[in-house]
Chain A
C-alpha cells in the first residue's frame, strides 16, 4: 500500500483509540444495533405468519447495513474540517502527500473498523439465530443472498456514506454543521437498504451483487468528486482557487 495512505490510516487509528467519544460510539452503538434484531427475532413465536416473520427479519437485517454507515460518518465529517480547526491541516499539506492520498487514508481509516464491527455483529447475530431462534427465522436468515448482501453491500454503503461525509467536511466551515449534514445525507442510502431488507427490491443474489457493483462504482466516483472538492486554498484561506 502507498506509504502515505498507510501513514494517514495509522495516525487516524491512533487518534480514534485515544478519543473517548469515538471509543464510546464504536463500542455502544453496535451493541445496541445488535440487541434490537436479536430481541426482535428471538421474540418471534414459531407459529408467526410468514409475512410478519419476513418483516421482522427484514428489520433485523437493516440494522447490519446501518452499523457500518452510521458509525464512520461522524468521524469522516470531522476528518478535514476538524483538522483545519485544530491547526493540524496546514503542516500536513506542506508534505508531499496528494489530496487523493490524504482523503483515501482518512476514508479507509473510517471504513475498516466500521465494516469490521458490522461483520462481527452480523456473525454474532447469525450464531444467536442458529442456536436460539425458531426454525422459520433460521430458514429466512440462513440464505446465501442474505450473507452475500451483508458482506458486499455493508462495505460499499459504508464507503458511500464516508465519501459524502468527507465531501461535506472539505467544504464545511464548522465541524458541527458538517456532522449534522453528513447524518442527513446518508438517509437515501438508508432508504435503499430498507427497500432491500424488506424485500421491496427483489432480494435475489444477482440483484445484491449487481447493486454492490453499482454502489462500488459510485464509491470510486465519490473519491474523485471529494478529491476535486478538496481545495487547499479554500481550506487555508477561505478563498477558493477560482476567486
Chain B
C-alpha cells in the first residue's frame, strides 16, 4: 500500500446511496501517485458513481475522500476539478462544432488563455493522433474518433489524476490498442490513471493494481497478488504414457501437496512452482516418463473476477 502522503486518491468508507438503494457502500482504497489503477465490476456495480463522487460531480452519502491533495467536497470542488480530468464513457462532443472548437471550449473552461490553449490543443491532438482532423465537425466523426477527441479533451489541463470511464467501450480493436498505448504513455509521464472497465484483459495489461467492486469492494491488489490469494499454485503435467505409480513419483517431490488426474493431465497443487518444477521434472525423468508438458497453471484476472463476482446479482445504481 502506498503511503498516504504520496497517494493521489484516498477513499475512506465512501458510501453513496440514491434514496434507499446503495450505489456503493463502505469503499476504502488508496491510489498511489503515478499509478494506473483499475476499477473493475459488472454493469451497475457503482464504478461510474464512484468516479462522479471522486470528481465532485455528486456528493457522497457517507465517508471521506481526497483526490490530488484536495478533499472531496462541494466547497473545494472547483479546485479539485482544476487538478483532474474525467473522460466520461460518452465523449459528449458538440456535434455542430469542429474538433478544435470543442477543445477550445474546454480550454476556456480550464481558464487557459488563447496562446496556452492553442499550444495545449495542438499537443493533445498530437497525442491522440488527431492533428489532421482538427477542422472536422464532431458530428462527422466515428465513435472511435470521438472517443479519441474525448481523451484529447481530458489531457488539456495536464491533469494530475485522470479518470477514464470505460475508455475503450465500443471501439474497434485498432482504436482500442491506440487508446491503451496512450494510457501507457500517460503512465510514463507520471499521470495517475483511474480506469474503470469491465474488460479484464485490458485491466490486466494496463493496471498496476485493480479493485473489484460490486456495490462493495470485493478485493484490491496487483493482479498476480489477487491470483495468489484466490487460487492455489498448481502445475500441469502431461506425459507420453500414464505413470505406473504416480503417487509414488509425486510424493517424493517436496512441495507437492496433492494431485489429481484429469483428461490425461496430472494437476498438482504445489507450494511454490519455481522450486517444485525442477524437482518434479527430475522425478519424472527418473521414473522413466517422457514429459510432453510441464508448466505452471496460469489464472487470468478473469478467473479472479469470476471467482469474486460469479453469478452475484448486480449492485445498485450506476
Contacts and interface: CB of A to CB of B under 8 A. Distances in A.
A233 interface: yes
Nearest to B59: A241
Interface residues of A, number: 31
Interface in A64-80: none
Contact of A94 (B49, B59, B79, B86): B86
Contacts of B250: none
Q: Find the residue from A15, A88, A89, A236 having the highest chain B CB count within 10 A.
A: A88
Nearest to B91: A91
Given A3-B111, A241-B59, A94 B105 contact: no
Interface in A150-190: none
Size range of the chain B interface in the assembly: 35 or more
A88 B82 contact: no
A95 B57 CA distance: 10
Nearest to A93: B57
Interface string A11-52: 100110011000000000000000000000000000000000
Contacts of B79: 96
B105 A96 contact: no
Contact of B82 (A15, A96, A236): A96
B58 interface: yes
B315 to A, nearest CB: 15
Tell me what chain A mostly uses at the interface: helix, strand, loop, or mixed: helix
B97 A94 contact: no
B78 A98 contact: yes
Interface of B: 18-19, 49, 52, 55, 57-59, 78-79, 81-82, 84-86, 88, 90-97, 101, 104-111, 113, 150, 153, 157, 317
Given A15-B96, A87-B90, 18 more contacts: A4-B108, A4-B109, A6-B108, A14-B97, A18-B96, A86-B92, A87-B92, A88-B93, A91-B150, A91-B153, A95-B109, A95-B110, A96-B78, A96-B81, A232-B58, A237-B18, A237-B49, A237-B317
Interface of A: 3-4, 6-8, 10-11, 14-15, 18-19, 86-98, 232-233, 236-237, 239, 241, 243
